[in-house]
Amino acid sequence: MSSYKSDIEIARESTMQPIGEIGEKLGIPYEALMPFGHTKAKVSQGFIESVKDNKQGKLILVTAISPTPAGEGKTTTTVGLGDGLNRIGKKATICIREPSLGPCFGMKGGAAGGGHAQVVPMEDINLHFTGDFHAIGAAHNLLSALIDNHIHWENKSGLDPRRITWRRVVDMNDRALRNINVGLGGPFNGTPRESGFDITVASEIMAIFCLATDLDDLSRRIGNIVVGYTRDMTPVRAREINAEGAMTVLLKDAFMPNLVQTLENNPAFIHGGPFANIAHGCNSVIATTTALKIADYVVTEAGFGADLGAEKFFDIKCRKAGLEPAAVVLVATARALKMHGGVAKTDLNTENVEAITSGCKNLGRHIDNLSKYGVPVTVAINRFVTDSDAELQAIQAFCEARGVQAFNCEHWEKGGAGTEALAHHIAEVADSGASKFELLYNDEMSLWDKAEHIAKTLYGADEIIADNKVRKQFAQFEQDGYGHFPVCMAKTQYSFSTDPSLMGAPSGHAVPIREVRLSAGAEFIVVVCGDIMTMPGLPRVPSADHIHLNEQGQIDGLF
């Protein structure tokens, strides 16, 4: 593949249009844009208000089979389908998540699509972009400072320094901050206690930011955050230390959705980026709802594979925001299916139809799962240059037997021209009214039953298990009035089970629940089923070692 250009080479050769022209394509006047340079902008609250009564466009979710190290190309397919829809004459846009800054300095690679299906300016998007994550970090850390200040002076709420659950955040992979002691150095420097930092995308503020319907809702949810407990286990909320007003002020501008463009100069919203394990992994509700008012088709994506990403998109984001998706695109690649069929990463360039057929059980399980939501499913095969015709035919045959249409997509190589057939089909499905969206579970089910229902119905598990402490925590949250919240499953993305090495479609397993956490502001209960890392570390040789400005003033080493 050395004859192919790199993502960054392709991006640098593209010609971007001024952001005002991109906005015009969706009817956004330039005055309603808050530009950040000439190719990025935020969309004003006033404009968002003004389109509230517009007719709603069709929402299309792009999700994927269980991720493998071979890569699936979910964002790339989202971008490619958006370009394809525009290419066939539809008024379409995409809504994706903002990448996190910190990981850019660890492993090489960005998160803005790839090949000829990218959003640009990719360097900006992957670095500070419009400052949203910095604003979220500042709001989060203001609350942290206010909590310690509250304790330092009078601690009127009686917050127990041993029971503060609110940590601090930084948008950096910094393992040394995972567990720290703060407040050392005597009485003028705070109260000594254990704490730590998470990466900014793991902040509950990020989840809240992405679920809030407007600034009032944002402020209300922030006020509801439980920051810790008193000695007698009474929860203390952000509201009780008067934090939500100032925090909302810090988030006011960030809350406006960001508009950029694809390589084919089609409009793209990139806004918010919560973790897909301890949070729901979708771009902001405000971006999605705004896009739906000004485009006829909105293509969006969800984190990880469909068992986690699509489930949370439906059961958390759509439930809370009242969204009704019209179609789902399930992304698969021949390479990833081969891995699900047992092939090692080093052997992926060898044709292996048998492994594909075996690996399709992963695809099949996701198709079955998605069909439970009543939204029509289409498979997009994201073609790699090494895929053989026989391999692709095997996937097609599998899908046909399931009664699902599959499309070979070549957006990585050809951009929107590579997804035309998919785009025609998706537009037709979305317009057909075939989608009869329903949630997987009701608010009224107990928290335990919600988790169990997801595990049995989607993961193929026989049961969920938990020790008494965890079961008591479930009961406590219900007693505290949070029983109606959806659950946010934090499980490995690599398997339907909790063992990341079990690829394909395992079943009959038990899902052990290690811990449950309250996100009272985001309004969900996090059900932790395995190791969850909320502060990554840097590798032995971090990519920061090689990142620099070259003589043309361009960034080298980032991608």
Query: Which C-beta is closer to a second copy: that of 251 or that of 426?
Result: 251
Cβ contact 56:292 at 8 Å: yes
19, 305, 458 from 508: Cα distances, Å: 52, 20, 12
Cβ contact 139:162 at 8 Å: no
Q: Is residue 69 part of an annotated ligand binding site?
A: yes
Query: Which C-beta is closer to a second copy: that of 140 or that of 425?
Result: 140
- Least Å from the CB of residue 203 to a second copy: 14
Query: What is the distance between the alpha carbons of residues 7 and 425, in angstroms, rounded to a whole number?
Result: 28
- Least Å from the CB of residue 27 to a second copy: 19
Cβ contact 309:64 at 8 Å: yes
Q: Is residue 72 part of an annotated ligand binding site?
A: yes
Closest listed residue to residue 166, CA positions, set 206, 239, 225: 225
- Least Å from the CB of residue 70 to a second copy: 27
- Least Å from the CB of residue 277 to a second copy: 18
Query: What is the distance between the alpha carbons of residues 296 and 377, in angstroms, rounded to a whole number?
Result: 19
Q: Is residue 75 part of an annotated ligand binding site?
A: yes
Query: What is the distance between the alpha carbons of residues 507 and 497, in angstroms, rounded to a whole number?
Result: 8
Query: What is the distance between the alpha carbons of residues 384 and 387, in angstroms, rounded to a whole number?
Result: 6
Cβ contact 301:61 at 8 Å: yes
Query: Which C-beta is closer to a second copy: that of 252 or that of 436?
Result: 252
- Least Å from the CB of residue 557 to a second copy: 7
Query: What is the distance between the alpha carbons of residues 206 and 95, in angstroms, rounded to a whole number?
Result: 16
Query: What is the distance between the alpha carbons of residues 190 and 148, in angstroms, rounded to a whole number?
Result: 7
Neighbours of 397 (CB within 10 A): 15
Q: Is residue 74 part of an annotated ligand binding site?
A: yes
Query: Which C-beta is closer to a second copy: that of 214 or that of 324?
Result: 214
Query: What is the distance between the alpha carbons of residues 309 and 306, in angstroms, rounded to a whole number?
Result: 5
Query: Which C-beta is closer to a second copy: that of 68 or that of 261?
Result: 261
Query: Which C-beta is closer to a second copy: that of 137 or that of 235?
Result: 137
- Least Å from the CB of residue 206 to a second copy: 16
C-alpha 24: how far from chain center: 27
Cβ contact 283:119 at 8 Å: no
Q: Is residue 70 part of an annotated ligand binding site?
A: yes
Catalytic residue set: 74, 76, 97, 108, 276, 304, 384, 412
Binding site, annotated residues: 68-75
Binding site, annotated residues for ATP: 68-75
